[in-house]
A and B are shown apart, each in its own frame.
Chain A
Amino acid sequence: MLEPINVSLASLNITTLAPMLIAIVGALTILCIDLIKGGLHKSFYVMVSSLFLLLDLGTVIDFGNIFLKNGPVLGMFDMMLIDGLAIMGQIIIVAGSMLFIPLALTSKRFHEYNYPEYFALFLFMIAGFQFMVATDNLILIFVGLETASLALYALIALHNRSKSFEAAVKYFTMGALAAGFFAFGSMILYAITGSIEINQIASVLAGDHYANIGYVLVAVSFMLAAFGFKLSMVPFHTWTPDVYEGSSAALAGYMSIVPKIAGFIVAMRLFEFLVHSGVVWLQVILYIAVVITMTASNIWAMVQTDVKRMLAYSSISHAGFVMAAILIGTTQSNTALFLYWALFSFTNLGAFTMLWVSRQKNLLPGQSSDHPFEKFSGLIKTMPMAAIMMGLFMLSLAGIPPFGLFWGKIYIIASAVTGGYTVLALIMALNSALAAYYYLKLIVFMFMKEPVIGYEKYYLTNASASLKTIIGVAAIGTIFAVFAVNPLLKVITLFVYNSGY
């Protein structure tokens, strides 16, 4: 006869699940509503999703206040860990998603938005990402990662073009491989430490002074590969441009922001203690990976003929840039990571939305891809406002002051300087110059060339009031970022410092 398990409900601290549960309940609600009455307009689902996300965000912010008062909250047999990283990660995830979801309200009809399942999957995905960041249990991270990824593959495929299927399958295959690597890595860590919680692993490893360093290195290699895929680090980046090209511009923009911040937080939890405990090999490997990711993707981006692919490579390069913060591993650099990503999400969201509004249903004769540079040729003459907006986002991505990303950029470079990585700081700065070339290329097309006949009727065809609002929000966030940097910096530093990173 088994002993009855006695667990008091209070010790479970079930409220730690509240944010994710809200997203899941939201998804189930949408499915139920569809059972009762089908054929509702997409605006209904968009608004319902937004409401649930708003609730979600509110709970997360509430946890933020609790964290600042009482420190990290544990729950569900210590599986859940709500610390500063988890809270900030969730804020970026949920807020990014809230900005993304109105992009479904296009003026053209896209069939994926007619399925309520699209929005249900979307909410499930968010719950998955939230689980990923709000734990240091490797199994729960794995579960969260897979929930989110599987939902994301389906969302890509729903775009219903041959290239989207290709993208989804490609992403799925690569993602399965990454999941395998992650499982192997976790297994080895469990084998040598007997634990699946990162902080336990860290203390066991520190306790025996890295006696099994060989196994640790094997585990770290697997983990690096897994996160290499998820964060699209070179040489595991090959799927990124194809997947971005195949999915809708809106979803591509989303993929460049939200899944990555979840990945960064897990990478931060896992690699930070390894970097600090003097696993030199990891430092060297990370250093090389960061430099190559930044530089190589910048060079590839230069030769792209399609704006969306160019932005895909640019987002790889930005990911490499931010990965440097994890390598540096000081409180300042971790703060810089969040600051950078918060500013980056505004700018990148704007840039991808600008592509989204010019989405064509059919390609013109001789047009090889959705958004060739020629499409934007002479835009300043045909649509001056659109050209100025796009130019603004490009300048911000290139790191021209005083626009948003510049402040993130100098803070990361400054953290490299203070962390003693002088050469890295210089490489990061010079990479911005490389990157400036391809962002300028689009500006040159928009402002200095003559319009190409045939494209003008497609431009802004997809723009609805809500899309224009999103672009406006992104533009305001980009221009006036300088006034937001100081409060952001203070709050983020507080959260990061109190979480012990």
Chain B
Amino acid sequence: MQEHILSILIFFPALAAMLGFIVHKDSARAYGITVAAIEFFLSLLLWNLYDPMTSGMQFMEKAPLVSAFGINYLVGIDGISLFIIVLSTFFTMIGIASLTETRRVKDLIITLLFLEMTMVGVFAALDAIIFYVFWELSLIPMLYIIGAWGGPLRIYASIKFFLYTFTGSLVMLVGMLFMAYFYYQATGQWSFSLLEWYRLILPLNFQLWLFAAFFVGFAIKVPMFPFHTWLPYAHGQAPTIGSVILAAILLKMGTYAFVRFSLPLFPDAAVFFMFPIAALAIIMIVYTAMVAYAQEDIKQVVAYSSVSHMGVIVLGTFALNVEGISGSIFLMIAHGVVSGALFLLVGVIYDRRHTKLMSEFGGLASVMPRYATIFGIMMMASVGLPLTINFVGEFLSLLGFYKQSHSFTLVAGTAIIVGAIYMLSAYKKMFFGNVTKEENKNLKDVNKTELLALVPLVVITIWLGVYPKPILEPISNSVESIVQLMHDKAQTKEAQARIPNLSNPEAKNSQQETH
């Protein structure tokens, strides 16, 4: 079982979803929770079996699929993907457990289980085509969730979501085919295996084009400015569960793919594009933070703030050193926990009042004290208060980029203060002051089911904020090997200088002296 645990983890939810068609609709929710819980414990088992000291791929499985064309079923994980997989199974479980949707629950549960398969698959895939298969397949359940359970503009939002991401990933597919062709030219064999692609050193101009092709696919998914326009619609219209999964996991596919594909495959191009992308990331941080401040709808505030923090992740990734990349991966986990929790919290109040406008609320702290406390903790975490989970990730990401450029980091750091402004003002509008609306006077505080979903998130937020080591260590172990690989592959002088050499401590110092 140990050697097949990844395949089990990928296909168990899909199998369960198919059997789920038979389950009666009244029991569908219990069935969903059971399956998701088993899946979550399997992923914990995976974490338990994982050897944190090894930096390479573990639990590798390989089976030929289209061997004439070099496509293999190839999966494996390292410290980078492990925690995102655990996060995916965790959020699917939490999401199904806190489900308040009553319309056609069975369909929703089955869809969520299929979605879980694609999420785990994306993060475990080591073959580009397998990665692409799961990447595209994840669009369909999300399309259905937004389109069938969403708000009034749901069809527009879901189609926009699908077409944006689909278009981007088709460009990426052409890039993948080119990459395989270059591999074919170099070795005389077709291969889509990432690990084999890693060994390929491409000339700079090829790298630039391929980097651009992959970038289009990933950037739309993240979503980076200026490709972010689909996200507010998707979040605005999606049901709570859709937003939670979208913000917590699906967006991470883009940033994860940067680390997995763009950086190690095209190190020179990554250095070449470092500052343009950092500039985009900073625009994304500042601009969406400002937009968030202007929103009247609390869900849009959370949505834009989530985009804003994705900017920090991208910035950390393109620091191209161990601190930055480890920080950005840690921030992916942190952002998943925090923004997922915030969307759940918005869902709680939406279920009670069926509105998300902040002007409808006010003084909720006295009516719903427990809700206000949890919301407060999560909001502080989102702002990046020390001793919460986000702080660790943001700090490391910015520290990483500080080594590359002081001025950029300064701007990005300032932008985080804007984050504090809109979050605190939103909190003030909703929770402080007098209860102005009659409807708000008798609101019920969070109930047991909701607590069951929210309390673990609070615990994780604080636990990993205080003591991030159990997660951070395996992550940085794996990141070190990626950075080393990038350094070894780098051809241009600038790339060699900017990407630290970890095997040689002197080079590390000289890299710092260049600034």
Interface on A for B, CB 8 Å cutoff?
380, 395, 400-402, 406-407, 410-411, 413-414, 417-418, 422, 425-426, 429-430, 432-433, 436-437, 440, 443-444, 447-449, 482-483, 485-486, 489-490, 493
| Bound form: Cα–Cα A444–B156 in Å | 10
| Bound form: Cα–Cα A401–B132 in Å | 8
Give every chain B residue within 8 A of A485 (Cβ-Cβ).
Answer: 65-66, 69
Interface range for B: 35 or more
Tell whether B68 is near chain A: CB-to-CB under 8 Å: yes
A105 CB to closest chain B CB (Å) equals 28
Q: Which of B35-78 contact A (CB under 8 A)?
A: 64-69
Are A448 and B154 CB-contacts (below 8 A) given A486-B65, A489-B69, A493-B68? yes
Query: Is there contact, CB below 8 Å, between B181 and A444?
Result: no
| Bound form: Cα–Cα A100–B178 in Å | 38
| Bound form: Cα–Cα A313–B221 in Å | 30
| Bound form: Cα–Cα A443–B158 in Å | 12
Q: Which of B125-152 contact A (CB under 8 A)?
A: 129, 132-133, 136-137, 139-140, 143-144, 147-148
Query: Is there contact, CB below 8 Å, between A429 and B68?
Result: no
Tell whether B451 is near chain A: CB-to-CB under 8 Å: no
Q: Scoring B residues 150 to 170 as 1 if CB is less than 8 Å from chain A, else 0, what string do you get? A: 000011001100110011001
Query: Is there contact, CB below 8 Å, between B66 and A482?
Result: yes
| Bound form: Cα–Cα A436–B136 in Å | 12
Give every chain A residue within 8 A of B163 (Cβ-Cβ).
Answer: 433, 436-437, 440
Q: Which of B108-132 contact A (CB under 8 A)?
A: 129, 132
Q: Which of B172-217 contact A (CB under 8 A)?
A: 173-174, 177-178, 180-181, 184
Add 15 more A-B contacts to A443-B143, A489-B66 (CB < 8 A): A395-B140, A401-B129, A414-B69, A417-B174, A426-B171, A429-B170, A430-B167, A430-B170, A430-B171, A436-B166, A440-B163, A444-B158, A447-B147, A482-B66, A486-B66
A231 CB to closest chain B CB (Å) equals 25
Query: Is there contact, CB below 8 Å, between A414 and B166?
Result: no
Query: Is there contact, CB below 8 Å, between B155 and A444?
Result: yes
Are A410 and B129 CB-contacts (below 8 A) given A448-B147, A448-B154? yes
Give every chain B residue within 8 A of A447 (Cβ-Cβ).
Answer: 144, 147-148
Query: Is there contact, CB below 8 Å, between B174 and A425?
Result: yes
Give every chain B residue within 8 A of A413 (Cβ-Cβ).
Answer: 173-174, 177
Q: Could you name 5 residue pairs across A and B whose Cβ atoms are closer than 8 Å?
A: A422-B178, A433-B170, A437-B159, A448-B155, A448-B158
Are A407 and B181 CB-contacts (below 8 A) given A401-B133, A430-B170? no
Give every chain A residue within 8 A of B64 (Cβ-Cβ).
Answer: 486
Give every chain B residue within 8 A of A437 (Cβ-Cβ).
Answer: 159, 163
**Nearest A residue (CB) for B104:** A381
Give every chain B residue within 8 A of A448 (Cβ-Cβ).
Answer: 144, 147-148, 154-155, 158
A495 CB to closest chain B CB (Å) equals 14
Contacting residue for A436 out of B147, B162, B174, CB 8 A? B162
Are A490 and B137 CB-contacts (below 8 A) given A436-B166, A437-B163? no
Chain B interface, DSSP helix/strand/loop, else mixed? helix
Query: Is there contact, CB below 8 Å, between B154 and A482?
Result: no
**Nearest B residue (CB) for A418:** B181
**Nearest B residue (CB) for A490:** B68
A248 CB to closest chain B CB (Å) equals 31
B164 CB to closest chain A CB (Å) equals 9
| Bound form: Cα–Cα A444–B144 in Å | 8
| Bound form: Cα–Cα A63–B288 in Å | 66
Query: Is there contact, CB below 8 Å, between B133 and A402?
Result: yes
Question: Which of A447, A483, A493 has most B Cβ within 10 Å?
Answer: A447
**Nearest B residue (CB) for A401:** B133
Query: Is there contact, CB below 8 Å, between A429 and B174?
Result: yes
Query: Is there contact, CB below 8 Å, between B137 and A414?
Result: no
Query: Is there contact, CB below 8 Å, between A486 and B147?
Result: no
Contacting residue for B137 out of A402, A407, A411, A433, CB 8 A? A402
> Which 6 residue pairs are nearest across A and B when measured between Cβ atoms?
A401-B133, A433-B167, A429-B170, A448-B147, A489-B68, A486-B66
Give every chain B residue within 8 A of A490 (Cβ-Cβ).
Answer: 68
**Nearest B residue (CB) for A332:** B69
A316 CB to closest chain B CB (Å) equals 20
Contacting residue for A482 out of B65, B139, B159, CB 8 A? B65
Give every chain B residue within 8 A of A486 (Cβ-Cβ).
Answer: 64-69
| Bound form: Cα–Cα A83–B180 in Å | 31
Give every chain A residue within 8 A of B155 (Cβ-Cβ).
Answer: 444, 448-449
Give every chain B residue within 8 A of A489 (Cβ-Cβ).
Answer: 66, 68-69
Give every chain B residue within 8 A of A429 (Cβ-Cβ).
Answer: 170-171, 173-174
Query: Is there contact, CB below 8 Å, between B171 and A418?
Result: no
Q: Which of B62-110 contact A (CB under 8 A)?
A: 64-69, 107
Give every chain A residue within 8 A of B154 (Cβ-Cβ).
Answer: 448
Give every chain A residue within 8 A of B136 (Cβ-Cβ).
Answer: 400-401
Contacting residue for B177 out of A414, A432, A433, CB 8 A? A414
**Nearest B residue (CB) for A445:** B155
Contacting residue for A411 out of B69, B144, B167, B174, CB 8 A? B69
Query: Is there contact, CB below 8 Å, between B66 and A407?
Result: yes
Query: Is there contact, CB below 8 Å, between B68 and A414?
Result: no
| Bound form: Cα–Cα A436–B65 in Å | 26
Query: Is there contact, CB below 8 Å, between B177 and A425?
Result: yes
B149 CB to closest chain A CB (Å) equals 9
| Bound form: Cα–Cα A81–B506 in Å | 72
B233 CB to closest chain A CB (Å) equals 15
A394 CB to closest chain B CB (Å) equals 11
A190 CB to closest chain B CB (Å) equals 41
| Bound form: Cα–Cα A184–B496 in Å | 65
| Bound form: Cα–Cα A423–B181 in Å | 15
Q: Scoring B residues 17 to 40 as 1 if CB is less than 8 Å from chain A, else 0, what string do you get? A: 000000000000000000000000
| Bound form: Cα–Cα A493–B190 in Å | 15
| Bound form: Cα–Cα A422–B158 in Å | 31
| Bound form: Cα–Cα A413–B213 in Å | 15
Give every chain A residue within 8 A of B177 (Cβ-Cβ).
Answer: 410, 413-414, 417, 425
| Bound form: Cα–Cα A488–B361 in Å | 63
Give every chain A residue within 8 A of B66 (Cβ-Cβ).
Answer: 407, 482, 485-486, 489
